Chain A
Amino acid sequence: MNKTCRIVNLQEEYSQLYKENISLLEDGAPSKMNALRAKAFEVFNAKGIPSNKVEDYKYTNLQPHFKGTFDIALSNEAAFNGMDTKFTCDVPELDTHNVFLVNGWYSHQNEVNNLPKGVIVGSIRECAVKHPEVFEKYYGHTAPADNDPMAAMNTAFAQDGAFIYIPKGIVVEKPIQLVNIMNGDNDRLVFQRNLIVVEDNAQVKIMLCDHTIAPQKFVINNLTEAFANENSILDVYNVQNQHNLTTQVSGMYVHQKKHSNILTNNLTLHSGITRNNIRVTMDDEHCESHVYGLYLSDKNQHVDNFTFIDHAKPNCQSFELFKGVLDDSASGAFTGRVLVRPDAQQTNAYQSNNNLLLTENAKINSKPQLEIYADDVKCSHGATVGQLDDEAMFYLRARGINPTEGRILLMFAFAYEVIDKIRVEPLKENIRSLVEKRFRGEFDKCDSCVVCGQQGSSVSCL
């Protein structure tokens, strides 16, 4: 059922929401999920929704954005609320295993066929019951519910999301695409919890797309835990495409074992307030991680990428690149914490954050944070904030290209480095044309979902 909650003083009402609905939250949810709730709620209740007085949230005060009158779905039926359309993906060149979620809940309409043997894609609450050995081994293992208030909030409140399991040695050729559709007649609070497990020698590429199709305000707290076991390869592309009234806190927590190779790419193409918490733990030797992000913001949008690369063991490599283009009065933040633990010798860690500010009012706070406790390592970091290159602009104009077009070409050239890191060719092409459209001002995120062509309502174009 849908509950309506009016949040004025934050903790007071969130606490009440939890306590009054605990039986509904727990109803039908896997026992491990419920077992972690109480502890997570205590942490969340003690810490609260973070303001900018909390060091880790210094550049994003979440408090005002988590206030309001929201609907919250406490069951699958409530989340769908009469939406019985079967979703399809309309982009022909993008061949994916496509599954939909609505307001964080897995759709029963999903039929995923032709998956390699043993691969599981489904609702987390249902799969947990069918595959308790996997769920209980991994759920809650890498999300910092004991420490981060938003991860704790998710752990306390989340009831559903996606479950993806790739067994040993299986290579899933087509990307698996999870599209979360935000819909409803009232403002809405959404929780989603995903679990991805990639076993030894397995490979998979996953796309997470969040898409608002109703013009209401959405406050989203989603969290994905991903486990890359020995020799596995995991790519996760997070395409964020929401209207300006959206607040999203998106957690991505990756845990790596020996010789695994992971890539995350957060493509924030359009959103109101976005906070991405990205953490990669290299918990074994010879791991490789690629952590990328691109954020394009204008108007009063705000994007905060908070990343933490944990070199816990020796001989691992990490490559981190975040780039942003900020226009109008948009603001952004980047924090790049790299921790090289005392025995993590032979670590290679590279980090770079580059920003393009197009106006006097656009703002970025970039904060590299390297903590190195081993003595035989290579670490580098760089942060730049700049404007468009005058020389390059002159080159284009000297060929007869007008300054408006020249500006678009140069912004695109700047952003391209991150797009180029996408390891799925059709997706790369797709994102490439989207980014170009975004710079041209033609990108109307309300017309359709960027990736799947899902129709949206034009009122949500704010």
Chain B
Amino acid sequence: MLVIKDLHAKIDDKEILRGINLEIKPGEVHAIMGPNGSGKSTLSSVLAGNEKFEVSEGSVTFNDKDLLDLAPEDRAREGLFLSFQYPVEIPGVSMVNFMRTAINEHRKYNELTPYTASEFLKLMREKKKLVEIDSNLTNRSVNEGFSGGEKKKNEIFQMAMLEPKLAILDETDSGLDIDALRVVANGVNKLKTPENSTIVITHYQRLLDHIVPDFVHVLYKGRIVKSAGKELALELEEKGYDWIKKEFED
């Protein structure tokens, strides 16, 4: 599904990703962990197409298409979804309006007829129930005045609506209390199918108790320095990142 080869990316001439290699197959859950500043969020931004970062080397293919060649909106319409670490507030624009615009753009791109208002509202009701999001959140403006937890739940709700092939959850657990974390993780698990894949970017092992990964990768100084099964996350939780830092000190 997703093949990343020797990916280098920089911001203002500072190289942050320094040769990432990663392959994700349908149905897999990959966790990417690593200390602060190792490039986790940069990787997710680059994959989603944030123009702040410049890709200097390497390639990314997504379902046999050159991902780096696509505009951010086309990446989304191809089935890539990024759950933002810091979702943006958009006052005055209702969730309904925002989601309907997004979904119908997806449908148009995939040569499907746009949803009518009633079809859309029905879909929204179903998905709200699925991810246990509070009904009145969707009656408000996009993320306006939402608490940290509400914003993250809202990201998962959007994910449910857009049904991506690949979801990247960027630090979705940061700032969540234990109940919100459970709601978010349940949502992700319910949306799981044998065809779609997930990348979970996180600092801590806690989220991985709920969303169990098939693979765990450790990102350090812009490279994946260690890959293993889910037991690696437990090891990191116990020992911290220092032993990895020592092992791979440049």
Which residues of A does B touch, CB under 8 Å? 389-392, 394-403, 405, 409-410, 412-413, 415-417, 419-420, 432
A-chain residues with CB within 8 Å of residue B93 when the two chains form the complex: 409, 412-413, 416
Q: Please tell me which stretch of B48-56, B114-122, B130-138, B223-231 contacts chain A, meaning at least 4 of its Cβ atoms lie within 8 angstroms of it.
A: B48-56
Contact among A400, A410, A412, A417 for B105, CB-based, below 8 A: A400
State the CA gap A392–B141 with chains docked (Å): 14
Query: Quick one: given A390-B52, A394-B72, A395-B84, are A400 and B77 in contact (CB under 8 Å)?
Result: yes
Contact among B76, B87, B91, B141 for A400, CB-based, below 8 A: B76
Contact among B76, B101, B109 for A398, CB-based, below 8 A: B76
Instruction: List 19 additional A-B contacts (Cβ < 8 Å) besides A398-B81, A398-B82.
Output: A390-B52, A391-B88, A394-B52, A395-B87, A397-B49, A397-B71, A397-B72, A397-B76, A398-B48, A398-B49, A398-B72, A398-B73, A398-B84, A399-B98, A399-B158, A400-B103, A400-B106, A416-B92, A420-B92
CB–CB A403/B92 < 8 A: no
State the CA gap A412–B98 with chains docked (Å): 12
Contact among B75, B92, B98, B105 for A419, CB-based, below 8 A: B92
Interface centre among A389, A394, A398, A419 (most CB of B within 10 A): A398
Does B191 make an interface contact (CB < 8 A)? no
Does B1 make an interface contact (CB < 8 A)? no
Contact among A389, A392, A403, A412 for B73, CB-based, below 8 A: A403
CB–CB B102/A400 < 8 A: yes
Does B216 make an interface contact (CB < 8 A)? no
Does B234 make an interface contact (CB < 8 A)? no
State the CA gap A403–B73 with chains docked (Å): 8
CB–CB A401/B105 < 8 A: yes
Contact among A399, A412, A415, A417 for B76, CB-based, below 8 A: A399
Give the nearest-CB partner of A410 in chain B. Answer: B90
Jot down 30 A-B pairs with beta carbons below 8 A, ordered by A. A389-B88, A392-B90, A394-B48, A394-B49, A395-B87, A395-B90, A396-B90, A397-B72, A398-B73, A398-B75, A400-B76, A400-B77, A400-B102, A400-B105, A400-B106, A401-B73, A401-B105, A402-B73, A409-B90, A409-B93, A409-B98, A409-B101, A412-B92, A413-B91, A413-B92, A413-B93, A416-B91, A416-B92, A420-B91, A432-B92
A398–chain B nearest beta-carbon distance, Å: 5
State the CA gap A295–B48 with chains docked (Å): 35
B-chain residues with CB within 8 Å of residue A415 when the two chains form the complex: 92
A-chain residues with CB within 8 Å of residue B106 when the two chains form the complex: 400
Give the nearest-CB partner of A432 in chain B. Answer: B92
B201–chain A nearest beta-carbon distance, Å: 15
State the CA gap A419–B91 with chains docked (Å): 11
State the CA gap A306–B48 with chains docked (Å): 45
